[in-house]
Structure 1
Amino acid sequence: MRRAVCPGSFDPVTNGHLDIVGRASRLFDEVIVGVLINHSKTGLFTVEERIEMLRQATASYGNVRVESFHGLLVDFCRAQGAAVVIKGLRAVSDFDYELQMAQMNIGLSGVETLFMPTNPLYSFLSSSLVKDVVKWGGDASSYVPDFVGERLVTRLRQN
């Protein structure tokens, strides 16, 4: 079975993330969306909430599952039986950082990294930008699934 991991924090999941996951799901038998648990950062949504949103957003894909992980990505890949990491690239600046990570990952464990260029519709999109837009009253509805947008508005109004 050809299995790949799409890692990230997904705080929250955006249509850009879903574009990469959906394209990866057509190339691999199984895609595992790995939600990084980073105890040194406080996200807007808990890890459990992010997993729930991702599961809802990817429910139409029969070969995608969502799991959380902490520690090294390569250890998570090994535990999942995945030999490939899929990373979306929005700009050249993403490549500089992701290349270093890819080289470290292959050196540590032999896990390959495949880079997918982001759909131009989402080349500027990030979770942080979406949160800022919603925080200041803007409309980010075309950049996240509807239910994510609703949860963003509710959460940011609470804060």
Structure 2
Amino acid sequence: MENNTQPNEGSYKKAIYSGTFDPITNGHMDIIRRASFIFDEVVIAVAKSEAKNPMFSHEQRVEFAKQATKDLSKVKVIGFDTLLVELATEMKINTIIRGLRAVSDFEYELQMGYANSSINKNIETLYLMPTLKNAFVSSTIVRELIRFNGSFFHLVPKEVLECI
């Protein structure tokens, strides 16, 4: 008899959504809210990612995510500094959530999904597209607006504005 490593029907379903969240945006929140309708628990994993030279410290980014999701009972925020697939395996989570804004995101995300699956064949990647209203929103755009004193209030959760 084949060993079925998939969760049993009716079991508690968790997913993990990772990123640098530098800072967390309304596009991220769109994906988080929609994932929370699908899963019993969504873990937001804020990557340290020093190689990306983030604008905000790891501690600030974790706090931004906690503040932005404080009213979402199914969401938990953690910081991490390992491979995502290792974290998911350690937490016994077999679904990784990734957001796709445009075709340009697809190739990179597909490669990462395959790489994660090559490390742990029980890991599934679920790709969610943000609503059209948030399709253009990215942390990169927000950081550029911040750098040049542009208006970015409409691109981030109000809780993040209060923190910044």
Q: Aligned pair count?
A: 152
Bigger Rg, structure 1 or 2: 2
Contact 2:64–2:163 (CA under 8 A) maintained in structure 1: no
> Does structure 1 residue 125 correspond to structure 2 residue 120?
no
Q: Which residue of 1 aligns with 2:65?
A: 54
Q: Which residue of 1 aligns with 2:20?
A: 9
1:73 deviates by 0.8
1:150 deviates by 4.4
> Does structure 1 residue 108 correspond to structure 2 residue 119?
yes
Between the aligned partners of 2:13 and 2:49, the Cα distance in structure 1 is 28
Q: Per-residue CA shift, 1:110-135, capped at 9, x if unaligned? A: 21100001111111111111111122
Q: Which residue of 1 aligns with 2:7?
A: none
TM-score (norm. length: structure 2): 0.88
TM-score (norm. length: structure 1): 0.90
> Does structure 1 residue 84 correspond to structure 2 residue 95?
yes
> Does structure 1 residue 140 correspond to structure 2 residue 152?
yes
Question: What are the residue-to-residue correspondences of 1:64-79 with 2, within 5 Å?
Answer: 64-79=75-90
Letter in 2 for 1:135: R
Q: Per-residue CA shift, 1:69-112, capped at 9, x if unaligned? A: 12211100011111000001000110010001101111210211
Question: What are the residue-to-residue correspondences of 1:31-46 with 2, within 5 Å?
Answer: 31-46=42-57
1:151 deviates by 4.1
Task: Calculate percent identity across the aligned residue pairs.
Answer: 39
Residue 40 of structure 1 aligns to a residue whose secondary structure is helix
* Alpha-carbon distance change, 124 to 92 in structure 1, aligned in 2, over 3 angstroms: same
Gaps (5+ residues) in structure 1? Answer: 153-159
